[in-house]
Chain A
Amino acid sequence: MVQLQEITMDELKHLVSDRAIAGETMVLNMGPQHPSTHGVLRLMLELDGETVINCVPDIGYLHTGVEKNMEAKRYLQAEVMTDRLDYLNTVGNNLAYCLAVEKLVDLDVPERAQVIRVILAELQRIASHLVWLGTSALDLAAMSVFLYCFREREMILEILELVSGQRMMTTYIRPGGLWRDVPAGFEEAVQNFIDYFPARIDQYEGLLTRNPLFIDRTKGIGVISAEDAIAHGLTGPSLRGSGVPYDNRKLRPYSGYEEYEFDVPTDDRGDVYARYIVRIQEFRESLRIIRQGLARLKDLEGAPVRSSNRKFVPPPRSEIGTSMEALIHHFKLWTDGFTAPKGHVYMPVESPRGELGVYLEGDGGNRPYRVYWRTPSFAHLQAIPLLSKNHLIADLVAIIGSVDIVLGDADR
């Protein structure tokens, strides 16, 4: 049994200024149960009145040892843990993991599966941005945006439920393709959503973009230059809000993203407002990608959605009754799993928050030897002290919201 020890101020002395030691400034805890910290995040603040002099994030409250657990599971079993990391980007986490496995074992993915993956990943991006928009507007006391955002998010969760049976923990994307083909009504549901959603984006913009209260709270707050943002590890919309067009869908394309036409929105201002503008524009770009994906899906009607490489992907049920080999493969894959060669790969994808990378190492066995999740929330939390220096506590709330953190993603 581990005994809880008291941490003395001495051990944290190097994190605060001399004024805190002299008692001129105040050291205060924010969180871990503060509504604006978006989960269990504790910030140790050194305050001069209401001004933040130093901010020391303390994370790990949601640490569940996913990386350690994945080492003890077979490649296919380990996938269910990936949903539970970033619970707002479940499809994206599955995708990153499956792409890493596919790269490690050199497995092909049929085109139809790739198109469906892209459509779902973009829907998930919209859903995640909706939660971000709703909650960060709520932090700034814009209550109604939150309700509208969650209403639209529900439509996406219903689409995920339609394809996988689960609203959030889908595990629908599998190494070598998908669990199964999309059911009837999928195209219609997605079409329905992309017809409905553009008017809703305008509605959110009407509530916030030119709202003087919102502008007061966001413009010129948490400014970071492009150089600093790169050096401090920001990625995704948070970096693009500083004018750097770093998007892994463009730079290191996967799942056929290079064949889609879309822009990477950027904004040079580098403040909370710029990051908001970038994400709003990303809604529209995601819709563009989904629209192209739906058109492609029509041409690929009836095409396979799982690789035919039976060493890695189980055969369809219908083959098991007639083929001896199919039965053997089925049995082998579900009892023993497949093996991956000795070697290591790093697979970065663009999650709604930024660069989500999976470092996967195989040792020739049927379990991953090491999985490392390079997660955007972890990187962004590290930049919060820099972003919030010399701002008011109320602005700190806006800044935490603007870098879009999910604690499950940061703590793993």
Chain B
Amino acid sequence: MNEKLADVIQTLKDEFKAEEIVFRGEHTLLIAPDQVADVCRRLRDDLGFNVLSGITAVDYWPEGEPRFHVIYLLFALEENLALQLRAPVPGENPTVPTVEGIYPNANWYEREVWDMFGIKFDGNSDLRRILMPYEWEGHPLRKDYPLGYEEVQFTFNAEEIDAKKPYAQE
């Protein structure tokens, strides 16, 4: 493991009680959701992580507790180091502080996570839906959101399914 990355991880462990996960040579730090902005600011200002590659989330419904993990993909351009942050967020009114003030490009990523998972970003200047239509209900990438296959019509149920299909009304 890169010594500089080891230093960074040790620093964050000491200051923010971060927990480290290592898988296939990738380093991930588990942090509390209310610390996200502080950790990001420390990483960008003092530790050289100037690139935010993306923000995404994972839904561990129904077993997972807390339900969501919000993931931040960070990169230090000069040192060539990659680091992921994960913030576990409960399913009830999930909220994470925004990092828009630290990484300006976080705005759209946070909008996407809000749109797809319904996780709110406290302080985001423009938290509208981004991919789905504005009036859409539900958050598609949640695991309790159905995939929405069209039912296959067979001879025995063709009429029954046909009656449910949304045809244009006269």
Contacts and interface: CB of A to CB of B under 8 A. Distances in A.
A374 B56 CA distance: 9
B126 A15 contact: yes
A244 B77 contact: yes
Interface string B46-70: 0000111110101100000000000
B66 to A, nearest CB: 16
B105 A359 contact: no
A229 to B, nearest CB: 10
A379 B134 contact: no
B10 interface: no
B153 interface: no
Interface of A: 1-5, 7, 11, 14-15, 59-60, 63, 65, 67-69, 72, 103-104, 106, 230-233, 244, 246, 251-252, 343-346, 348, 355, 357, 359, 361, 369-370, 372, 374, 378-379, 381-383, 411-412
Contacts of B145: 68
Contact of A63 (B77, B107, B132, B147): B132
B56 A59 contact: no
B99 to A, nearest CB: 12
B146 to A, nearest CB: 10
A359 B24 contact: no
Given A103-B24, A345-B26, A359 B56 contact: yes
A359 B71 contact: yes
B147 A370 contact: no
7 contacts: A4-B133, A60-B133, A63-B131, A345-B24, A359-B73, A374-B53, A374-B56
Given A246-B77, A251-B80, A68 B141 contact: yes
B58 A369 contact: yes
Interface string B28-59: 10000000000000000000001111101011
Interface string B16-34: 0000000110101000000
Interface in B93-115: 103-105, 107-108, 112
B138 to A, nearest CB: 10
Q: Chain A interface mostly helix, strand, loop or mixed? A: mixed
B125 to A, nearest CB: 7
Contacts of A411: 131
B80 A252 contact: yes
Contacts of B24: 103-104, 106, 343, 345
Given A14-B125, A68-B140, A252-B80, A3 B135 contact: yes
A3 B145 CA distance: 19
Contacts of B141: 67-68
B135 A2 contact: yes
A246 B77 CA distance: 7
A346 B84 contact: yes
In the A-B complex, the 3 residue pairs with the smallest Cβ-Cβ separation, listed nearest first, are A233-B105, A374-B54, A60-B131
B71 to A, nearest CB: 7
Interface string B112-154: 1000100000000110111111111100110001010000000
